[in-house]
Structure 1
Amino acid sequence: MAEKIIMLACSAGMSTSLLVSKMEAAAKQDGVDYKIFATSAADIDHQLSQDPHPDVLLLGPQVRYMANDVKKKTDKAGIPMDIINMSDYGMMNGENVLQAAEKLLGDR
């Protein structure tokens, strides 16, 4: 079973799918076991209600306009949330995005 669950959310969940692959490769290289998945912003409420729910949520830069509303929901659920750095997103830098998630989790 994965140590932590990292959820990425964007408009449709498709543009973050490649980033998920890059993050999984970085996690494997770092020797950590995370479940990392992408979903649409419309699916955030559903995912937050799941058991187990994500341990951290990263929003794609294209849905940053939703950050305040999503933050209220993640705060209520006790889940840290942030927006993926636009440069790391554009370059599909899985290692940097993974490190950002770990920082939110308090890992490493």
Structure 2
Amino acid sequence: MKKITLICGVGMSTSLLVSKMEEVAKNKGINVEIRATAEGKFREYENDTDVLLLGPQVGYLLDKFKKKYAETGIKISIIDSVDYGMMNGEKVLDYALNM
């Protein structure tokens, strides 16, 4: 099971996107665990995350996270701003699974 964590400023705006991603995963029979959190709380999930996606509003943290977690194997990227704005759970889920 792939474990995907989304980060935004306080973890709230990504919660809706997580719901949409979970719905797509359920409809497609994809076994994933998806959650949203604030940047400061990611430590709670750092040992239980395969893919880390940053909301566009915190994209400036990409280098910091890549440096800190370089040796852990966590795949880290920024969510496409259009997909994020449209809350396109299917596209974001596909992106995460194909990283």
Q: Give the superposition deviation at 1:45.
A: 2.9
Q: Give the superposition deviation at 1:37.
A: 0.2
For residues 14 and 29 of structure 2, the distance between their equivalents in structure 1, rounded to whole angstroms, comes to 22
Aligned pair count? 99
For residues 98 and 18 of structure 2, the distance between their equivalents in structure 1, rounded to whole angstroms, comes to 17
Equivalent positions of 1:41-60 (< 5 A) are: 41-48=39-46, 50=47, 53-60=48-55
For residues 25 and 76 of structure 1, the distance between their equivalents in structure 2, rounded to whole angstroms, comes to 32
For residues 59 and 81 of structure 1, the distance between their equivalents in structure 2, rounded to whole angstroms, comes to 8
For residues 68 and 97 of structure 2, the distance between their equivalents in structure 1, rounded to whole angstroms, comes to 20
Q: Tell me which moved more, 27-36 or 83-92.
A: 27-36
Partner deviation per Cα, 1:43-100 (whole Å, 9 max, x = no partner): 123321x4xx111100000001111001112322111010000000000000000011
Question: Unaligned regions of 5+ residues in structure 2, if any?
Answer: none
For residues 16 and 74 of structure 2, the distance between their equivalents in structure 1, rounded to whole angstroms, comes to 23
- Report the counterpart of residue 36 of structure 2 in structure 1: 38
- Report the counterpart of residue 60 of structure 2 in structure 1: 65
RMSD: 1.0
* SS of structure 1 residue aligned to 2:98: helix
Percent identity between matched residues is 51
**TM, length-normalised to structure 1:** 0.87
* SS of structure 2 residue aligned to 1:16: helix
Question: Unaligned regions of 5+ residues in structure 1, if any?
Answer: none
- Report the counterpart of residue 24 of structure 1 in structure 2: 22
